[in-house]
Amino acid sequence: MTKYIFLTGGVVSSVGKGVTAAALGRLLKERGFRVSIQKLDPYINVDPGTMSPYQHGEVYVLDDGAETDLDLGHYERFIDTSLSRVCNVTTGQIYSEVISRERRGDFLGGTIQVIPHVTNEIKQRIGLVPKATNAEIVLVEVGGTVGDIESLPFLEALRQMRSDLGRENTAFIHVTWLPHIGATNELKTKPTQHSVRELRSIGISPDVIVARSDHPVGDDLRGKIALFCDVEPRAVIALTTTSVLYEVPLLLEHEGLGDYMTARLGLESRKTPDWTAWEDLVNRWRQPRPQVRIALVGKYVELQDAYMSVREAVRHAALAVGVEAEILWLHSAELEKGKGWEELRAADGIIVPGGFGSRGIEGKIAAARYARESKVPYLGLCLGMQLMCVEFARTFLQSEDANSTEFDRSTPHPVIDLLPEQRGIGNLGGTMRLGLYPCHLAPGTHAADAYGQPIVEERHRHRFEFNNSYRDSLGEKGLVFSGLSPDGRLVEIAEIADHPYMVGSQFHPEFLSRPNRPHPLFKGFLEAVARRAGVASPAPAHKREPAAKA
Ligand code: GLN
């Protein structure tokens, strides 16, 4: 019998419900259980793939090509298991399924209603998770905050699941926020009480309250929350803000959440959690390390959530290399106006991440030119790879009009062009080249060196690619095609010969970086950055050679 843990949020959003779910997943995995996590998003978009990062933050991509909420990134980084497209459900998906079934006549003339038709579809989707992922325990996080109109059908479906499956197979965790009043220096529980009351009014009584706060929570406050919210005092889990994200599982373990949840669901732990590696990771994170500066030249830099996985991948790699990376968030459109160049020049390495649309493109190309000419380590992620190739073409074909056809349809040198299979696609949702594809590496290149293996698989999300008619002319000039699709048709990684590290990947390596397993391309980049900053031990001789041509 699958066990379900439902997580709801109260008081305010952005208090770390996703990280709490991810960390609890880790607590249960450490006890020997197969765990999966699902996010229910109340918006009407079918998936976040068509949403602006300003609205939604990063779009996270899974192995199977699903474009998902960024919380799935937290889940995968913490539980280190590849999730499935059934792990992210939106109101849009639920309604489009129910409506298309109605159009087919599946409901035999009945009136289609939120209860039971929409709630049944929600329950059906939750039930798919154990089937698709073989999980014994499924954590289900409901997006938004209790009290939102749009999350009501989800909460009603969860309420029904408790009656359908029984209390011993379902548990509710409510994650809330304790505001701090500066004048009296105290934490307040009233908003938590109110949001639990709201939850109860729709028939859900939480079993556990995770009380987030910026300040330590005393026993008196715990007692008060337990009393007013009708949970056991040990079911009040205080989670104080930490500067190290990956400490959250340790904090929750210390608070007894893992033992409480297993007991509550009538489960017997299969093994004693071994936190040695996590503790070591967090300890190393806290140690002072030599600083390096990395410029992230992007379009959505005001909202760092838009580059969540890139930021985490940089942190993982920096930890492995033994440096601390300060990220300088530079707006590419500002570079175009001549602003921000001092910061760019102060950086020891440059990342140009993924993106869409023409705003700020010339700023990114200028950053790539500076990185190539000044031999500053550069990592291009998807769009960052494409623009690195555009810059190279502009210089070596002596045509400043070289471009990607995404930005200039009539460019004389379409170095980056639509994938053939993308031509004629009208629908924007879920139609890119998405998900895991294999890539063969050319020996003797930075990429092959970084990976240390000949074939890799990486996650993609793009419509455009390197145009093969430029392979010979640009290859002669020193653009190295270090990663190709198995049939040799698609350029998956490009790099610049005779450069300390200028590598661009058509895929998104950031999605496969894990705290204890940094991504090789990020690690190779950080090593080059550390060498440039003069804070690394000298590289082994073979790494100092310029990359050979493929
Ligand atoms: N806009 C580019 C494309 O569609 C790059 C996409 C990306 O960076 N994810 O190919």
pLDDT tens column, 7-47: 999 988 878 999 999 999 999 999 999 999 999 999 999 99
440 within some domain: yes
- Of 179, 241, 177, 171, the C-alpha closest to 208 is 171
d(CA 203, CA 199): 7
Instruction: Output phi, psi for 176, to 5 deg.
Output: -125, 180
Residuewise pLDDT in 10s, the chain (550 residues): 999 999 999 988 878 999 999 999 999 999 999 999 999 999 999 998 888 888 888 999 999 999 999 999 999 999 999 999 999 999 999 999 999 999 999 998 899 999 999 999 999 999 999 999 999 999 999 999 998 999 999 999 999 999 999 999 999 999 999 999 999 999 999 999 999 999 999 999 999 999 999 999 999 999 999 999 999 999 999 999 999 999 999 999 999 999 999 999 999 999 999 999 999 999 999 999 999 999 999 998 888 889 999 999 999 999 999 999 999 999 999 999 999 999 999 999 999 999 999 999 999 999 999 999 999 999 999 999 999 999 999 999 999 999 999 999 999 999 999 987 778 777 788 888 999 999 999 999 999 999 999 999 999 999 999 999 999 999 999 999 999 999 999 999 999 999 999 999 999 999 999 999 999 999 999 999 999 999 975 444 444 444 444 4
Judgement on whether residues 377 and 231 belong to the same structural domain of the protein: no
For the chain, the farthest-separated pair of C-alpha atoms sits apart, in whole angstroms, at: 75
State CA 13 to chain mean position distance.
18
Catalytic residues: 382, 508, 510
Q: CA-to-CA distance for 112 and 106, rounded, in angstroms?
A: 11
Burial 30-68 (b: 16+ CB within 10 A, else e): bbebebbbbbbbbbebbbbbeeebeebbbbbbbbbbbbb
- Give, using CA atoms, the residue closest to atom 5 of ligand 1: 383
Residues 66 and 86 in one domain: yes
**CATH code at position 492:** 3.40.50.880
Task: Retrieve residue 430's tokens.
Answer: 């879920």
3-state DSSP call for residue 122? helix
Average pLDDT, the chain: 94
Q: Using the mean position of ligand 1's atoms as its centre, give its distance from the Cα of residue 76 in Å.
A: 23
Residue 192 lies in a domain: yes
258 and 196 belong to one structural domain: yes
DSSP 382: T
Find, among 81, 73, 70, 68, the residue nearest to 28 by Cα.
81
Tell me whether residue 38 is in a domain.
Answer: yes
Tell me if 541 is assigned to some domain: no
Do 323 and 274 share a structural domain?
no
Please report how many Cα atoms fall inside a 13 Å half-sphere around the Cα of residue 476, on the Cβ side.
6
Ligand 1 close to Cβ of residue 354 (< 6 A):
yes
Strand segments, DSSP code E, in 245-348 are: 291-298, 324-331
Report yes or no on 446 lying in a domain: yes
Say how many Å lie between the CA of residue 549 and the centre of ligand 1.
Answer: 26
State residue 13's pLDDT score. Answer: 81
Task: Work out how many domains the chain is built from and give that number.
Answer: 2
Angle between helices 152-165 and 119-133 (to 10 degrees): 60
Q: Could you tell me if 16 and 163 lie in one domain?
A: yes
Pocket perturbation via mutation, ligand 1, pick of 296, 332, 379, 382 by most ligand atoms within 8 A of CB:
382
Residue 538 covered by a domain: no
Task: Kindly state whether residues 392 and 526 are assigned to the same domain.
Answer: yes
Identify whether the C-beta of residue 511 lies closer than 8 Å to the C-beta of residue 392. Answer: no
Choosing from 229, 248, 281, the residue where a domain stops is: 281
Q: Among 356, 407, 433, which is best to mutate for testing ligand 1, by the most ligand atoms less than 8 A from CB?
A: 356
The pLDDT, as a whole number, for residue 515 is 95
**Ligand 1 atom nearest residue 406's Cα:** 1
Block residue for tokens 């198995």: 486
How much is the pLDDT for 109? 85
According to the model, what pLDDT value does residue 206 have? Answer: 97
Q: Within this chain, do residues 186 and 93 fall inside the same structural domain, yes or no?
A: yes
**115 and 35: one domain?**
yes
pLDDT at residue number 537: 58
Residue 547 pLDDT: 46
Q: Which domain holds residue 475?
A: 289-419+430-533
Please check whether residues 322 and 277 belong to one and the same domain.
Answer: no
- Is residue 436 domain-shared with residue 457, that is, in the same domain? yes
Give me the pLDDT at residue 424, please: 76
Q: What is the CATH number of the domain that holds 197?
A: 3.40.50.300
Q: What one-letter code names the amino acid at 387? A: L
Q: Is residue 424 part of a domain?
A: no
Q: Tokens 């009296």, residue?
A: 184
Q: What DSSP state is assigned to residue 233? A: G
Are residue 344 and residue 218 in the same domain, yes or no?
no
Say yes or no: 299 and 220 in one domain.
no
Give me the amino acid identity at 278: W
**283 Cα–ligand 1 center, Å:** 37
- As a whole number of angstroms, the distance between CA 22 and CA 257 comes to 13
> Is 46 inside a domain boundary?
yes
Of all protein residues, the one whose alpha carbon is nearest to atom 9 of ligand 1 is 354
Q: How much distance in Å is there from the Cα of 506 to the middle of ligand 1?
A: 8
Check residue 540 and give its pLDDT: 46
Q: At what angle do helices 308-321 and 71-79 cross, to 10 degrees?
A: 30
The one-letter amino acid at 345: R
